[in-house]
Amino acid sequence: MAAAGGEGGRRRGRAGPGPPPPPLLLLLLGMALCPPASALGDEFSPGQWAAAGAAGSAAKGRRYLLYDVNPPEGFNLRRDVYIRVASLLKTLLKTEDWVLVLPPWGRLYHWQSPDIHQVRIPWSEFFDLPSLNKNIPAIEYEQFIAESGGPFIEQVYVLQSYAEGWKEGTWEEKIDERPCIDQLLYSKDKHEYYRGWFWGYEETRGLKVSCLSVQGSASVMAPVLLKNTSARSVMLDRAENLLHDHYGGKDYWDTRRSMVFARHLRVVGDEFRIKYLNSTDGSDKTSYYEDWTKMKVKLGTALGGPYLGVHLRRRDFVWGHREDVPSLKGAAKKIRSLMKIHKLERVFVATDAVVEEFEELKRLLPEMVRFEPTWEDLELYKDGGIAIIDQWICAHARYFIGTSVSTFSFRIHEEREILGLDPKTTYNRFCGDKEKNCEQPTHWKIAYR
């Protein structure tokens, strides 16, 4: 792919050094004390900030890629979108110096635990940042604010599909600036800056916002970012509109493997395994290397802990009367049968079931255990962390069964693939009570460089 040349391209659009920026502290102080709009008069114009480029040699010259995802999308789909954007970043890096700014977590539809603060959550609460950085350069949003000189995003592209759809049989990758189809979720303030959700960082402003119709994989964005804009910070909103560059390829798996869960969450999961499931890495043959680049386990060599792992997705999956989701009775029957076949006495259940449903399941299956967070656990790990602990424990089971087309279950499949468990023990799902053709999940074989 042709792309604008290195240094020349990198420096485009940035005028001379300009006046020195006021200390960052002052800016942050200003934000805390004053209404943001009045704190930033003309003397704080974002152009200056960007041009002056704040601290540190690492920050010099590099461009920032930010993104966000359609608000209703859940945690696990968002993890998938990260893989697509990471792939785009790798493409950009072939030509220019870019860094990915990790979109803070928050305001997710499923994260409903009351009374806990679940917004502006940095990635490090859920994932191991040094591990992510062994795949691509990635920084937290607050680091972006600090090193780029303030909460300004020079260009926001809202991604959308083509209004006219596409004609059958004529698939082609394309991207064009088009009028916005949906109502724009950004509006101008009195200083002509765009305001929007921006992950709950109210002080963030966009300088330009436009809509791009896109049809294709993540890297169709690359020429636009390299050639059509000289903005130093570019945000792709609705990034789920980009497809995978190469789903299931080496590059996909590199990124996926780099998404190592935060250590403190793995520790909680491991302690639960020891305490309730008689499961340790030694006896389960599931050793884990802190450095994912050094981890390559032959499929089938890991044994897994002496328990059945279950992911039983309920709530909206049940309310939708989906044919491929079992009744609790049906699920309990299947669980019993699997425990017998695989000679497992213990069963771990991860579920988002409402209390009444959970009690019903417990009645049908008294021996089941699950990770029951205390209020303190919840406050500490948040709904996302609890989900990760559940996934981690399911990933270590000798045999796993999940729920049809749940991205939560899919992420467990991948984790088990990384751990090296036999695919036969992984790609299983519950069938609906009356489902005729109960097709089982596809095995996406792990690929290494």
Ligand X SMILES: *[C@@H]1O[C@H](CO)[C@@H](O)[C@H](O)[C@H]1NC(C)=O
Ligand Y SMILES: Nc1nc2c(ncn2[C@@H]2O[C@H](COP(=O)(O)OP(=O)(O)OP(=O)(O)O)[C@@H](O)[C@H]2O)c(=O)[nH]1
Q: Report, in Å, the least distance between residue 394 CB and ligand Y.
A: 8
Q: Report, in Å, the least distance between residue 310 CB and ligand Y.
A: 9
Burial label for 327, CB within 10 Å (0-12, 13-18, 19+), is middle
- 3-state helix vs strand vs coil in the chain, percent to 5: 40, 15, 45
From 141-149, 169-177, 252-260, 400-408, span contacting ligand Y (CB under 6 A): 400-408
Decide which of ligand X, ligand Y, none touches 406; Cβ closer than 5 to 8 Å per partner kind: ligand Y
Strands 205-215 and 152-160: parallel
The answer to whether residues 378 and 386 touch, using CB atoms and an 8 Å cutoff, is: yes
Q: What is the Cβ-side half-sphere exposure of residue 264, based on CA atoms within 13 angstroms?
A: 10
From 12-20, 93-101, 294-302, 347-355, span contacting ligand Y (CB under 6 A): 347-355
Q: Looking at beta carbons only, is 161 or 228 nearer to ligand X?
A: 228
From 11-19, 73-81, 167-175, 191-199, span contacting ligand Y (CB under 6 A): 73-81
The answer to whether residues 99 and 139 touch, using CB atoms and an 8 Å cutoff, is: yes
From 74-82, 172-180, 245-253, 373-381, span contacting ligand X (CB under 6 A): 172-180
Decide which of ligand X, ligand Y, none touches 228; Cβ closer than 5 to 8 Å per partner kind: ligand X
Q: Looking at beta carbons only, is 191 or 362 nearer to ligand Y?
A: 362
Q: Looking at beta carbons only, is 133 or 278 nearer to ligand X?
A: 278
The answer to whether residues 217 and 244 touch, using CB atoms and an 8 Å cutoff, is: yes
Please state the φ and ψ torsions of residue 360, each to the nearest 5 degrees.
-60, -45
360: left (phi over 0), alpha (psi -120 to 50) or beta: alpha
From 34-42, 52-60, 381-389, 431-439, span contacting ligand Y (CB under 6 A): 381-389
Site for ligand Y in 82-111 (CB under 6 A): 110-111
Q: Report, in Å, the least distance between residue 215 CB and ligand X.
A: 12
Burial label for 355, CB within 10 Å (0-12, 13-18, 19+), is exposed
Rounded CA separation 204/154 (Å): 11
User: In this structure, what DSSP letter does residue 102 have?
Assistant: E
Q: Looking at beta carbons only, is 79 or 227 nearer to ligand X?
A: 227
Residue 74 tokens read as 């859940």
Q: Looking at beta carbons only, is 81 or 231 nearer to ligand Y?
A: 81
Q: Does residue 413 bind ligand Y (CB under 6 A)?
A: no
73 is annotated as an active-site residue: yes
- Extended strands (E) in 103-151: 138-140
Rounded CA separation 290/308 (Å): 26
Q: Does residue 238 bind ligand Y (CB under 6 A)?
A: no
Q: Looking at beta carbons only, is 40 or 421 nearer to ligand X?
A: 421
Which one of 73, 125, 140, 360 is the catalytic residue? Answer: 73
Q: Looking at beta carbons only, is 120 or 322 nearer to ligand Y?
A: 322
Burial label for 224, CB within 10 Å (0-12, 13-18, 19+), is middle
Residue 143 tokens read as 């680091």
Q: Looking at beta carbons only, is 186 or 371 nearer to ligand Y?
A: 371
Please state the φ and ψ torsions of residue 162, each to the nearest 5 degrees.
-85, 135
Q: Which of 70, 118, 143, 278 binds ligand X (CB under 6 A)?
A: 278
- What is the layout of strands, in order, in the sheet containing 346-351? 346-351, 305-312, 397-401
Q: What is the Cβ-side half-sphere exposure of residue 244, based on CA atoms within 13 angstroms?
A: 15
The answer to whether residues 161 and 182 touch, using CB atoms and an 8 Å cutoff, is: no
Please state the φ and ψ torsions of residue 126, each to the nearest 5 degrees.
-115, -30
Q: Which of 45, 228, 293, 407 binds ligand Y (CB under 6 A)?
A: 407
User: In this structure, what DSSP letter does residue 294 have?
Assistant: G
Q: Which of 175, 235, 265, 387 binds ligand Y (CB under 6 A)?
A: 387
Decide which of ligand X, ligand Y, none touches 270; Cβ closer than 5 to 8 Å per partner kind: none
Q: Report, in Å, the least distance between residue 348 CB and ligand Y.
A: 10
Q: Does residue 175 bind ligand X (CB under 6 A)?
A: yes
> What number of chain residues touch ligand Y (CB under 6 A)?
19
Decide which of ligand Y, ligand X, none touches 74; Cβ closer than 5 to 8 Å per partner kind: ligand Y
Q: Does residue 414 bind ligand Y (CB under 6 A)?
A: no
Q: What amino acid occupies position 248?
A: G
Interface residues toward ligand X, by CB under 6 A: 175-177, 212, 224, 227-228, 278, 283
Active site residues: 73
Question: Which chain residues interact with ligand Y by CB under 6 A?
Answer: 73-77, 110-111, 311, 313, 350-352, 383, 386-387, 390, 406-408
